[in-house]
Amino acid sequence: MNRNRITSAILAIALLAVGVWGTYQYQLKNEYKTALNNDYQRLFYDTKAHIANVQVALSKALLSDSKEQNILLMTQIMQQANMAQDKLSQMPVSHSDISKTQKYLTQVADYSYALVDQHLEGKDLDSKQREALFKLQDYSAYLTREMSSLHDKIMKGEVTLSRVEQGERKGLRKANENMLNTSLVKLEEEMTKYPELIYDGPFSDQVMNMKPKGLGEKKVTVEEAKIIAQNFLGDKQTWKLTLFEEGEHIDKVATIPSHTFIISTENSRDGAGSYISVSKQGGQVVWMVNPRSVSRISLSMKQGQDRALKFLEEKGYKGMEPNYSLRYDGTALFNFAYSEGDVTVYPDLIKVKVALDNGEIVGFDAATYLHAHHKRDIPKAAITQEEARGKVRLDFDIDSVRLAIIPKGGSKEVLCYEFKGKYKGSDYIVYINALEGKEEKILQIIQDENGTLTF
């Protein structure tokens, strides 16, 4: 009897151990699948980004009339094409099915290298070479479109990259195996759609690397910063501001040390996601965010822009002009650049986010402005507008021209003529140095129902 009990106990323990081990293995397998899929998603995202960069650089090279700019652009194309090919080779797909894509990326890199070599010898592009670049640009635009479409499917869970690899190993049905491959090899079809872009203004990244110039000198205490924040938020409600621990949210304040507060009211709970940050030097509001949901849209983009501009004027920001905008999730994000006389100063950029239900300001970011704004001695243009026009391709259909200051690496700025117009059906901005007459920068503009984007 005792022996049977002992045997039963041992069996029970053994079954329990097997069950625990099985559960552990199952969890381990799921964790492995998740990690594998995340790795593949990162690979795919990187591949998509590199191919989009190839397409952008190719479109700029077609418009550029400067050997120096073209050498830089062609070098970027080579680098991005090679990086895209490297990432693509690591994707869980049959290499025979993406051979055309890999061949295309190789040709783009090789052709760009040949054109760089030609430019270094002082030769311009001829009509046949430009025609070849147009074809390559068309292919890259289509491939970018396909990658964006596939990326949407991956984000929605319609395609799981780890299962694609599993499908190749297990020899599942052809339609299942090629779910991913099919979207990567249709380069011969007509391309019409551009990729989804991330909007943050055309020059803001360059400015953020500078030492802040627009803060002032006074050191501000926590209590002083709290008063500044309360005044900025206004007196329509009784605001409760709780100091956020230093070191948190450091990315949002960039290189500007700040006192950051959690915003709450009598009707909201603490930590609901609303914050405001005041610089420790100068006591300037660096950013504010209130990520509330917007259930219905009552205001137009123009009404939202007017509300944002009025808000800036109320806060003491004079001479700001609207430039680019983006609408999403019931809100509108507006970029405003400072203007001095007839010169637009792009480094002095402020972003304002407006809720399109009642016009409430739900986002504010002056970090770029505070980095760059200072009293400038703006020089007079050394060349005329007509002379600058001569530096732009003759077949570039110009809509408007104005003077603008743009950043040029580090803390340097340059006065340019800004030419906006169309080339081969697409919208661009070309910047010609107003002192030296050389081509400084080309931006492509994308406009859709949600707003205006540049890259």
pTM above 0.75, yes or no: no
Query: Is 193 within the bounds of a domain?
Result: no
Are 7 and 141 in a shared domain? yes
Are 17 and 125 in a shared domain? yes
Are 308 and 172 in a shared domain? no
Query: Is 54 within the bounds of a domain?
Result: yes
Are 52 and 120 in a shared domain? yes
Are 394 and 368 in a shared domain? no
Are 54 and 104 in a shared domain? yes
Query: Is 199 within the bounds of a domain?
Result: no
| CA angle at 397 for the pair 395 and 398, rounded to the nearest 5° | 130
Query: Is 153 within the bounds of a domain?
Result: yes
Domain count, the chain: 3
Query: Is 189 within the bounds of a domain?
Result: no
CA of residue 364 relative to chain centroid, distance: 18
Are 264 and 317 in a shared domain? yes
Q: What is the separation, in whole angstroms, between the first and last Cα of the chain?
A: 82
Query: Is 390 within the bounds of a domain?
Result: yes
Query: Is 380 within the bounds of a domain?
Result: no
CB 111 within 8 A of CB 136: yes
Query: Is 192 within the bounds of a domain?
Result: no
Are 160 and 231 in a shared domain? no
Helix ranges (H only) for 347-400 are 367-372, 385-389
CATH for 445: 3.10.450
Which residues constitute the domain of residue 115? 2-184
CB 421 within 8 A of CB 165: no
pLDDT at 301: 92
Are 342 and 402 in a shared domain? no
Percent of the chain with pLDDT over 90: 25
Are 114 and 215 in a shared domain? no
| Residue after which a domain boundary falls, among 184, 219, 242 | 184
Are 258 and 285 in a shared domain? yes
Are 361 and 447 in a shared domain? no
- The per-residue pLDDT string of the chain (455 residues; one tens digit each, 9 = 90 and over) reads 555 665 665 665 555 555 545 554 555 455 545 554 566 677 777 888 888 888 888 888 888 878 888 888 888 888 888 788 777 767 666 555 566 677 777 778 777 877 877 777 778 877 778 777 887 787 777 777 777 777 677 666 665 555 444 444 343 334 333 434 444 333 323 222 222 222 344 555 555 556 778 787 889 999 999 999 999 998 766 778 888 765 444 444 346 888 888 888 765 554 456 888 899 999 999 888 888 888 889 999 999 999 999 999 999 999 999 988 888 778 898 989 999 999 999 989 999 999 999 999 999 989 889 988 989 999 999 999 999 999 998 888 999 999 999 988 667 899 999 999 998 888 888 999 999 999 888 887 776 666 666 55
